[in-house]
Amino acid sequence: MPDDTVRELCCLVKGTSNFIMITIPVDKLVYHLKKMAHSEVKNSSLRGTDATDLFVWKLNQQESLTPEESLGDRISSQGQLSHIAVKLESNARIGDIFPKQPDLGLQIVLQHAPSAPVFSSTRSGQKRGHVADISANIILQWSKRIKLGLPLVSELPGILDQPLSDAEKIPLCRSDFDSLVSSVMERKDICSKDDVEKLFRISDEEISGTLYLLFYNAVLGAAPPDDGTESSFHSFWDDNIRKVLEMLTPYGTSIRDSNHKTSTQKLRPDYGLIIGSVCPFRGEEKPSTSKDDPKAELSYKLAWVYEPVQYVFGYYAIGPAVTLAAICAPKEPSNTPWVEDLASADLRLKRDRIAHLRRLINLAPYISSLLRAIGHHGSPEFTLIEREGKSLEIGLRSIKKTYHGDLGQKRVRMIKNIYDQLKEKGVPHVDTLTYEDSPAIYLEPRGIDIKPGNEKALLQAVTCVLQALKVLHQPPALYHRDIRWPNVLRRADDPKLWFLIDWEDAAGSNNTAADHLSPEEHSPRIFVDNHGCEVDIWGVGSLITEASAFVVNISPELLKLGMWMQDGGPSADDALIAVENYASKF
């Protein structure tokens, strides 16, 4: 019986005629395949190279070749290797690429990545000294292409298409430069000398190894066929977007959403660039054959949490057609963000790939400006946060909580029961459980983790919490028991409204002491069995008294209201009336 834990793959190094067989476990990565293949042939065609210099291509199923067939002949008839194969990422799992043992024939083509040129002679053929690598200088020049402040959305198209100075262009030797210019016989992919000069310049005195590998290869890399799958485009989109942004924003981290189940579509964009805790650039991608609208997804999959800026950056791709865009703050708080197209490119064409890469160079410095303007972001986006017994991920419009351990599913059942009661009682200003995939739950809306900046906002937050408690405490009573500022968020769609989250400690009237909670942040009554509404009202009072640390000139009268709630234990109804009476004076 065949061993289904391994895959036997027939591989060929491009430019040779020798086939090699690699047996590799299904849980290994393409990275390991590179190492194994390189070890097999390093003493011949790959002498003096490193395994990391290899590109790994998987032939399209319909293009499978027999050992008797010439790969060179097939490429000559089809054009670029990318027309008949898909380039694989190093972190891709072998078992995901080949779910079952492939049929006989060639499956893998290994290509040595072109290295940056090293010049050893002058035009006269005489030996000369070391050629300067000016990659760092060029990147520094690019970072200076920014003006103070953030431009208006209407100004961005002009900024993206600003020309580069000669000092900002990537140096190429003449042969590499000329290889990008179309021949007189080319009719489909015309790229003129002027097109190439938008990004590159000829130099026999300078090189730029890092930029050469990234930008020159991106311009040379042909797009997959128009009817290719989304997976077949991932490597192409990465070459033209992700890898470039990662180089231009070295402190950024890229994420991709590889799970397209209904429950997770609201959790992550197809692509996101995370810097710190903010995602200032994101993309939605679809193959050419898809009927979905990636531009619309940039809007409706996003909760606007980026005040005070008026836009963040993004793109949407339909196959090789890529449009850079500004995702703009909603015109009304209750609306969704709107998307303004900035520049489009048909990445099947070299000249458009060059123009697109230059636009990313011009855009990148403004990502830093966005981050400075947004400031600290309390809830890190699309980042897995590990807490005791659970993990948390802040998604596009929802939050995913996953509970670990043997009691994970039991905790999910308990929390689902709480949310069912909230819904049945009609409690306002609380989050909602929208989907259960035990031991995980999905919650909406995604709020803004921010404290009130003035007394008016403080009153709005306290009023919303008390309105929730007024209904929550009605028989059969339910108590939140953990009212603190981390569990009170502002709504993204209405800055006047706030809501309560985190119901893991909620309980009814027949309860036991919550000894695991902090005495500094909770009512003394919570450490006694069968406590009541006073523990929640104490928490609201604490919201007010703690606000004196971040709300300037909070009135003594309001502070007294907070202390009254902590000392007297009024009902939610009485506390709400007192707060509303105070607010009516202004």
**Does the 455-583 domain belong in CATH 3.40.50.450?**
no
The segments of the chain whose pLDDT lies below 70 read 1-2, 42-48, 61-80, 82, 113-131, 147, 258-266, 334, 377-378
Is residue 473 within 8 A of residue 571, CB to CB? The reply is yes
Is residue 19 within 8 A of residue 5, CB to CB? The reply is no
Q: Token digits for 219? A: 């311009």
pLDDT reported for residue 50: 75
pLDDT reported for residue 122: 44
* Phi, psi values for residue 230, rounded to 5°: -60, -40
Is residue 276 within 8 A of residue 264, CB to CB? The reply is no
pLDDT reported for residue 128: 42
Is residue 440 within 8 A of residue 543, CB to CB? The reply is no
d(CA 399, CA 499): 14
With vertex at residue 328, the alpha carbon angle to CA 297 and CA 454, rounded to the nearest 5 degrees, is 120
Q: Peptide bond before 476: cis, by omega within 30 degrees of 0?
A: yes
Instruction: Please provide the CATH number assigned to the domain covering 6-112.
Output: 3.10.20.90
**So where are the chain's domains?**
6-112, 115-120+130-374, 384-444, 455-583
Token pair 């202390």 is at which residue?
Answer: 563
Report which DSSP code applies to 387: E
d(CA 71, CA 19): 11
d(CA 225, CA 243): 21
d(CA 2, CA 155): 62
d(CA 464, CA 419): 18
pLDDT reported for residue 225: 87
Dihedral sign of CA atoms 486, 492, 495, 501 in order: negative
d(CA 373, CA 251): 17
d(CA 233, CA 57): 13
d(CA 173, CA 161): 25
List the beta bridge partners of residue 313.
281, 326
d(CA 362, CA 355): 11
d(CA 289, CA 303): 28
Q: Token digits for 187? A: 């009719």
Q: Token digits for 336? A: 């969704």
pLDDT reported for residue 273: 94
Query: Rg of the chain's alpha carbons, rounded to an integer?
Result: 30
d(CA 109, CA 9): 10
Report which DSSP code applies to 310: S
d(CA 216, CA 46): 22
DSSP 465-526: HHHHHHHHTSSSPEE-----GGGEEE-SS-TT-EEE---TT-EESS----TTS-TTTS-GGG
d(CA 429, CA 498): 6
Q: What is the pLDDT of residues 265-323, one digit of tens each?
A: 467 899 999 998 899 999 999 999 999 999 999 998 888 889 889 999 999 999 999 99
Q: Do domains 6-112 and 455-583 have the same CATH topology?
A: no
- Residue 219's alpha-carbon distances to 226, 356, 461, 517, in angstroms, are 18, 10, 53, 58
- Alpha helices of 173-293 — where are they, by DSSP H? 174-180, 193-196, 209-211, 217-220, 230-237, 243-248
